Amino acid sequence: MLTSFLAYGARKGFLRPVLNYGRKIMEEYYTNEAVHRVVAEKIAPLNLHISNDEPQRFNIFIPEIDFGSFFGGYIAKFNFARKLVENGNRVRIITVDRCYTKREDWPAVVQK
């Protein structure tokens, strides 16, 4: 139903302003400068301090934790971490992108 409506709107031209506005937003967001900055941040070297005084542990890097779409991929990562802990390992989950939910709020959000 929605796809036929969109196809009809595209044929008649009344969706053109909406599509043009969306295209403008995408063009502004994905300027070369913005893309360069995002890529540079993602591939920047990690600032590590390695110490033999720290216990050995597994570091699991994930892009972000989006509790609005907490599905299979996240569940698999957390189950993997849980299995490592159950087998006597120390685990640290590290998000490399911004997470909008405070870490101390995670347990309450996940239990919902």
Q: What is the 3-state secondary structure (H, E, C) of 35-103?
A: HHHHHHHHHCCCCCCCCCCCCCCEEEEECCCCHHHCCHHHHHHHHHHHHHHHCCCCEEEEECCCCCCCH
One domain for residues 107 and 62? yes
Give me the long-range contacts of 40-47 (CB less than 8 A, separation at least 24): 42/96
Domain count, the chain: 2
Instruction: Using 70 as the pLDDT threshold, list the residues of the chain that sit under it.
Output: 1-32, 70, 110, 112
One domain for residues 65 and 107? yes
The answer to whether residue 48 sits within a structural domain is no
The answer to whether residue 51 sits within a structural domain is no
> What pLDDT was estimated at residue 107?
78
> What pLDDT was estimated at residue 57?
94
> What pLDDT was estimated at residue 30?
63
The answer to whether residue 49 sits within a structural domain is no
Other Cβ atoms closer than 10 A to 109? 13
> What pLDDT was estimated at residue 49?
83
One domain for residues 34 and 73? no
Range of the domain at 24: 2-43
> What pLDDT was estimated at residue 80?
95
> What pLDDT was estimated at residue 66?
73
d(CA 34, CA 40): 10
pTM: 0.53
The answer to whether residue 21 sits within a structural domain is yes
